[in-house]
Amino acid sequence: MKSSSSSTGFSHLDATGNARMVDVGAKPDSVRVAVAVGRLTCDPTTIRQLRLQALPKGDVLTVAKIAGVQAAKATSTLIPLCHPLALTAMEIEFKIETDGIVVKATARTTGKTGVEMEALTAVSVTALTLYDMCKAVDKGMSIGGIRVVEKHKS
């Protein structure tokens, strides 16, 4: 079985549908950037409480950001067919809205594979951490809109 060819469009599957870790050894090292976003949707009351009690101190957003950065570094441990790579930068930003918090993650590396899974993982775990910290006051939250909004290499 030759791992670098595939008759399906799914790069992680060989011609017979078996999952595999793609061989990226022949790819050149490029600077790669990916940006992903996602959103924790909650009750407006939760946002008001956060603004009053939590956001001034800042801990809520910082804890979530650190969780996202750490998860991004662990992406190849979490997503089985992802290649290990060394992130050169990881940035997480928040936008507080009246009924939710938007999370935006930018991942960068110099390597052989793209970093969209790192950006998506960072967004997901950042949002899960926000959820964890708000769940005592809001039982109806959800996380959604997780997607890649930008990806390029140079």
Between residue 107 and residue 146, which ones bind a copy of itself under the rule CB under 8 A?
108-112, 116-117, 120-121, 124-125, 128-129, 131-137, 139-146
Scan for tokens 């949707």, then name that residue: 41
DSSP structural state of residue 33 = E
HSE, CB side, 13 Å, CA atoms: give it for residue 12. 6
Scan for tokens 């992406």, then name that residue: 75
**Among residues 112, 117, 152, which one has the least CA distance to residue 30?**
112
Residues 15-54 that bind a copy of itself (CB under 8 A): 16-25, 31, 38, 49-50, 53-54
Per CB under 8 A, 98 contacts a copy of itself: no
Contacting a copy of itself (CB under 8 A), which of 43, 63, 97, 102? 63
Taking the complex as a whole, how short is the minimal distance between the CB of residue 102 and a copy of itself, in angstroms?
13
Task: Give Cβ neighbours of residue 27 (< 8 Å, ≥ 6 apart).
Answer: 112, 113
Per CB under 8 A, 81 contacts a copy of itself: yes
Whichever of 77 and 99 has its CB closer to a copy of itself, that residue is 77
Give the three-class secondary structure for 22.
coil
For the annotated catalytic residues, the residue numbers are 132
Contacting a copy of itself (CB under 8 A), which of 5, 57, 98, 101? 57
Contacting a copy of itself (CB under 8 A), which of 47, 71, 101, 115? 71
Report the DSSP beta bridge partners of residue 105. 36, 92
HSE, CB side, 13 Å, CA atoms: give it for residue 110. 1
Q: How many residues bind a copy of itself (CB under 8 A)?
A: 87
